[in-house]
Chains A and B, each alone.
Chain A
Amino acid sequence: MAHAVERPKDTFRLSMLIYDTRYRSLTIQVIVFLLVMAGAAWLVDNIIRNLSALGKDFDFGFLGVRAGYDIAQRLIPYSQNSTHAMALLVGLMNTLLVAVLGCIMATIVGVMVGVLRLSSNWLVARLMTVYVEIFRNVPVLLWILLIYTVFTEASPAPNAFRPDPQTGEVTKTLFLGLFAITNRYTAIPNLQFEQGLGSLDLGLFSLNLTFAAVVVLLAIGLYVRSRIIRHATAVQHATGKRPQTWWKSLLVVFLPTILLCIALGAHFDLPVLRGFNFVEGLNVSNSLMALWLALSLYTGAFIAEIVRAGILAVSQGQSEAAFALGLRPRRTMNLVILPQALRVIIPPLISQYLNLMKNSSLAIAVGYLDLRGTLGGITLNQTGRELECVLLMMLIYLAISLVISSGMNVYNSRVKLKER
């Protein structure tokens, strides 16, 4: 009996749609599809009926209308007469500003604390544990409000930095001669160029050419550096000796930028008290400072735990094996431990960065006008277009999230150990 019995040609019955595994998944998908379509149609129908009942329409034309409100903290030129679209852009830049600054600071704090928690020093390890537990287990909104209160309630007015008119005695001086924390803003030195390259008008906004030149030079320097490293690796593979690269790297990355800065007459303007306020320097609003510090300290506590877990995940045997092969501690760290720890660290780190970006929408609590404050706040209230504003805001946040996570995923796939 070499041939199997031929299956009887069964006729199709309706119940087979449910009980036959060949058709069941199709049935389920068709039902789900119909349900989803019906649900979507119901929602759209409701929206149309609700909008017509309110006498509204669905139109993004309001973005081209004059905004009429001021934004104190801005990275690009903006005035009351600018459009709502410009306000949106200012808000977006503010969101990105605090997110980028926060991510950098949180990474520094997190890596330091994570490593120190593992240190053999009893006192420091305990202090770091206390920091991590306290910051992780309390809402971030509390930290934002608390740090904002420290700035606004516990720091002096700009006036306090003035010498006493009678005695000429100076009660408060600038911290290191550079910074002044006041109850309205933090005055920091401002980078200025004597002869800047001007700016290029791109219609929607203008591009600062000096800034662009520095960025381009840095990018070229980094590219050349990667070529140098690649060359050094090739030489090492060919001859067994690795040429020194660190001074070349420093040279190509920083020298052109420094030369450009000197050529353009870059210098720092220190804050000077004139009248009631600090001038010359850059006055950073306290809301930005509080938001930045709170987000970085809060996220830093989470990153510290991630870093700690990552380092602990690399077993002791790995470093022992590296030592047995004669690798020195620094190369053991770079070639053996770090690549394996990074594989554990990077994925949760990405989601922490995303969390930080999303938490920056709490800026509303301290009056920092980010995307949520401009588009989802004042613009929404002025134009009364909730549907358009909230949908647009969600889309923008979604786009930022997807860009960050895809960028970090590319990096992740590069550091990932290649498994066979």
Chain B
Amino acid sequence: MSDTDAQSVFFMRDTMLPQVPPPAGQSGPVRWLRENLFSGWFNTILTICGLIALYFLLRGLLPWFAHSVWTADTLSECRQIIAAKWGPDATGACFAVVRERWTQWLFGFYPRHLYWRPVLTLVLMFVAMAPVLFPGVPRKLMIFSAIYPFLGFWLLWGGSAWVPLGGMAGFVLGYIAWRVLRENRPLVGILVAVVIALLWWLLLAGPVIDLFRSIAPLAIESVRSDRFGGFVLSLTIGVAAIAISLPLGIALALGRQSDMFLIKTLSVGFIEFIRGVPLITLLFTASLLLNYFLPPGTNFDIILRVIIMVSLFAAAYIAEVIRGGLAALPRGQYEAADSLGLDYFQAQRLIVLPQALKISIPGIVSVFIGLFKDTTLVIFVGLLDPLKGITDAVRASIDWKGIYWEPYIFVGSIFFLFCFGMSRYSMYLERRLKRDHR
């Protein structure tokens, strides 16, 4: 054996080969192309199809964008400029309409000299949201977050400051009553707090507000609801509905999980009813039927009605998302809470909901995105949404008659920015809250 081995090994390398670069086909862009685009006959076909589709898309769109005009007063002027610059057959975008009318898309018919108010409301909204969204912000800011809804209402609609203050006073009174009674009789405390708040709003608030108003009006110029439009309207409805629907949705989800038959039945009935009908029919109810359901003679603001309906709609969806989160929690978590002697609300607040909400974040955010997109439907009850309402209003003027694509692109990109931003934030939140080790 060793003999044959000795004969077959007749060469042994004793020096290292010099390093050579890999062959051209195995490195750099060529290799990348081969691996990612042409790794087989099927992939090659796909790539070619993709390239063809991309070519046709860009061939149509690129010149159109490249020839775009940003300064002109009318659509015909736009077309003249394009024809003069790029030849009579050239097509081009006329983004001059955006440049001239962008305030209308953002603010609707809000009085021009009061534009600072919605802007300030938006800026303050970020301040109010900061302590909720990011952990590094001082917790004292939470007080501002609590005041913000009333402040925002006052800034947007104007009028006397005593109206939102009166609304806030109900909460404050209820809170004080609860704090006083909390130590000895927690449940009675909650009941008394609710009753006091209701009594204040229904009976006392009106006369007291009138009294204060007569002493010192504290009023800023009021803006009627029909002046609202564009993204001010969308954001108002969207943000308010998000803020209302989340607690409502949590309550509904807990109600659906409840052991009490009646509560469970009511929650399930409500959720399934709302989820089974289109939002449009609910908005219709808000605009047409609410007059039937309320005492004769009452008539309240259409934007407020829409906000209520959109909140109810979103709450049903959020409830379903949270139900999924609750169902995903291991049974042991509930049992551990019980064995620690926590009562129902403590267990929900300290053990169950933090985990269930964490699981449901992606779903909740996608409900919010859907809600924000659905604010465009308010056009069907006569409010001026940015997509169709304002665009039609702009198109109705003789200067911009016949302009189609540019408004849609402008409004669409703003919606895209908002929704895409929200979905990215939810991804960030998911990563941040991830506590398990995978």
Residues of A within 8 A of B (CB): 18-19, 25, 28-29, 32-33, 36, 43, 46-47, 49-51, 53, 116, 119-124, 127, 133-134, 136-142, 145-146, 149, 153, 354, 358-359, 361-362, 364-365, 372, 376, 386-387, 390, 393-394, 397-398, 401-402
Contact = CB atoms under 8 A, between A and B. Distances in A.
A25 B259 contact: yes
B278 A359 contact: yes
Interface SS of B by simple majority: helix
A358 B373 CA distance: 15
Contacts of A29: 260-263
Interface stretch (B16-24, B293-301, B329-337): B293-301
B219 interface: no
Given A123-B46, A123-B51, A401-B275, 10 more contacts: A18-B188, A121-B50, A123-B37, A138-B373, A145-B387, A145-B388, A386-B289, A393-B281, A394-B281, A398-B277
A358 B277 contact: yes
Nearest to A44: B293
Nearest to A364: B380
A88 to B, nearest CB: 14
Interface of B: 35-37, 39, 43, 46-47, 49-51, 53-54, 187-188, 259-263, 266, 272-273, 275-281, 284-285, 288-289, 291-296, 369, 373-374, 376-377, 379-380, 387-388, 404-405, 408, 411-412, 415-416, 419-420, 423
24 contacts: A29-B260, A32-B262, A50-B292, A119-B43, A121-B50, A137-B369, A137-B420, A137-B423, A142-B376, A142-B387, A142-B411, A149-B405, A153-B404, A358-B278, A358-B279, A359-B278, A361-B280, A364-B380, A376-B281, A386-B289, A390-B289, A394-B281, A398-B276, A402-B272
A53 B419 CA distance: 46
B423 A365 contact: no
Contacts of A136: 419
A239 B260 CA distance: 55
A123 B261 contact: no
B376 A139 contact: yes
Contacts of B376: 139, 141-142
Nearest to A49: B296
A134 B47 contact: no
Contacts of A36: 266
A33 B281 contact: no
Contacts of A387: 289, 292
A329 to B, nearest CB: 14
A372 to B, nearest CB: 6
Nearest to A402: B276
Contacts of A28: 260, 263
A136 B423 CA distance: 11
Contacts of B380: 364-365
A93 to B, nearest CB: 17
A138 B415 contact: yes
Contacts of B296: 46, 49-50, 53
B263 A50 contact: no
